[in-house]
Structure 1
Amino acid sequence: MAVKVLLVGCGNMGRAMLVGWLVSGKLAAAEVAVVEPNEALRQRASETGAAVAEHVSQLPAGLRPELIIFAVKPQVMRAVVAEYCGFATGRTTFVSIAAGIGIALFESLLGEKTPIVRCMPNTPAAIGKGMMVTVSNAQVAPAAETFLADLLSVSGRVLKIDDEGMMDAVTAVSGSGPAYIFHFIECLTAAGERVGLPAEAAKLLAMQTVFGAASLAAESDTAPGLLREQVTSPNGTTAAALQVLMGQDRLRKLIAEAVEAARDRSIELGK
């Protein structure tokens, strides 16, 4: 059985993707090879049954995967990608899940005719609840895009965009977005304690409320704004709280400022 996917880097995100492919049956262990220089991470990868190497030079001669997926930190991406130029024959599609690294960098290292996909995941992908956004250069074949989307679907929802310029905004909303929600849970938990709830009860109420509300919004055909209105009785407790959050567009403006700051930082990192 030929190797279809070469995974470069098997940290938390890389391993989550690998395990998802194998458990879901999207790939057999024999169809995946992993390059991971860290011994502990390499050992964890080998436990999945996939072929594992410390360095690209240790891979079998003649290996021609359909996809090479780079799951390494942005700081080392240039040095790592340069080691895979030998695969840039046009038959292999290169995929990056690193934030802030544009397609142009890969084209400069691998050649402008090399098929390249840039993907922005987020951390819930580790439990199959992520948001995966992709953008491709003109060299990527439809079959490769379909194959990749099928693999990524194991990690959550997949959205393909055509304008790479949107990726900084994607990073600001879904890439960094889980941290905003985690902080909201922290704040709601602390507020619960402040009004008299025990710490564990406040934490449970905050987490389950965010989880339930997000699930309802995702599964309902009703717009979030209408769902909010359905919960809000006139002059009731929810209305009193929303007057604080929504008065003078307080929360809307704060979230907008946060997202703009993240987008601007993503632009800076990509220069």
Structure 2
Amino acid sequence: MSFPEGPFWLIGCGNMAGAMLRRWLSQGLDPAQVTVITRSGRGAPEGVRSLTALPIDETPATLMLGFKPQQLDDIAPTLSHLNPRLVLSILAGVEEQVLADRIPAGATVRMMPNLPVGIGQGVTALFTRSTDAQVRGHAQALAEALGLAPWIEDEARFDAVTALAGCGPAFVFRFIDAIAQAGVALGLDADLAQHLALATVNGAGSMAIGADASPGVLADRVASPGGSTREGLNVLDADDALERLMAATLAASERRNREMAAAARR
């Protein structure tokens, strides 16, 4: 694993940034290399330097932006003098050019992770205009330590990737809860229903990853004509109900990403 060398500063350390950092540390990133800077001074893993202000007379080689996109206007001016070799950003909806204009650096890479990165089974989409092999290699090494690491070559598609993969775990969690609640409505104990729902989604997901067919085809293979699975699928498939619901869900998330991007440009 070829992590970037030199001081690694993380500005903000909430749920997502913290999950990424903890995974990197578990995969060999040297904690002595890392500084976490937050307003509260909390959230940094054990063994990592934690500060409430930027260190004086120090500069990072890698600067990661792990705060909320809405905080960019307040925080960016405090970072504009650092000029690190590499800026990594997980700010949803904030375009690379906006970041490069506000925080000068050798290169800027957008990263869009989702929460399972904390267990090494996430998705971290990547985008940069840089063609520097070392820049792209360092970004990819960090992302691959978290799970799947696809490069998105058209930044205009980044909001859609964010809606599907970045927001997607929350939608899956909601589905798991909904199917469990449906089981409770049929008379199952709540704990049993949740365990069944979790195991079913976990097993089905693992099977779909290793299958020789698409999930849509797998669903039809499971559903025998006239059987109970087909009867349930008929409800989901009627008027494309599930597809339309998910299309509306992702469109709402993508729209919000675009709104945040527009606000960051101002």
Q: Which residue of 2 aligns with 1:70?
A: 65
**Contact 1:107–1:114 (CA<8 Å) still a contact in 2?**
no
Matched positions, count:
258
Supply the distance in 2 between the matched residues of 1:249 and 1:130 (Cα, whole angstroms). 29
Matches within 5 A, 1:89-168: 92-111=85-104, 114-138=106-130, 141-168=132-159
Supply the distance in 1 between the matched residues of 2:239 and 2:17 (Cα, whole angstroms). 43
The amino acid that maps onto 2:97 is: A
Supply the distance in 1 between the matched residues of 2:173 and 2:6 (Cα, whole angstroms). 38
Supply the distance in 1 between the matched residues of 2:82 and 2:212 (Cα, whole angstroms). 45
The amino acid that maps onto 1:32 is: V
In structure 2, stretches of 5+ residues that fail to align are none
Q: Is 1:82 matched with 2:77?
A: yes
- Segments of 4+ in structure 1 off by > 6 A? none
Supply the distance in 2 between the matched residues of 1:87 and 1:220 (Cα, whole angstroms). 48
**Contact 1:12–1:126 (CA<8 Å) still a contact in 2?**
no
Aligned-pair CA distance for 1:202: 0.8
TM-score (ref. length: structure 1): 0.88
Aligned-pair CA distance for 1:133: 0.7
Q: Which residue of 2 aligns with 1:53?
A: 51
In structure 1, stretches of 5+ residues that fail to align are none
- Of 160, 177, 184 in structure 2, the residue corresponding to residue 169 of structure 1 is 160
TM-score (ref. length: structure 2): 0.90
Q: Secondary structure at the match of 2:149?
A: strand
Percent identity (aligned): 33
Q: Secondary structure at the match of 2:126?
A: strand
Aligned-pair CA distance for 1:230: 2.1
Matches within 5 A, 1:1-271: 3-25=6-28, 27-41=29-43, 44-45=44-45, 47=46, 49-56=47-54, 58-59=55-56, 61-65=57-61, 67-88=62-83, 92-111=85-104, 114-138=106-130, 141-271=132-262
Supply the distance in 2 between the matched residues of 1:238 and 1:179 (Cα, whole angstroms). 25
**Contact 2:19–2:115 (CA<8 Å) still a contact in 1?**
no
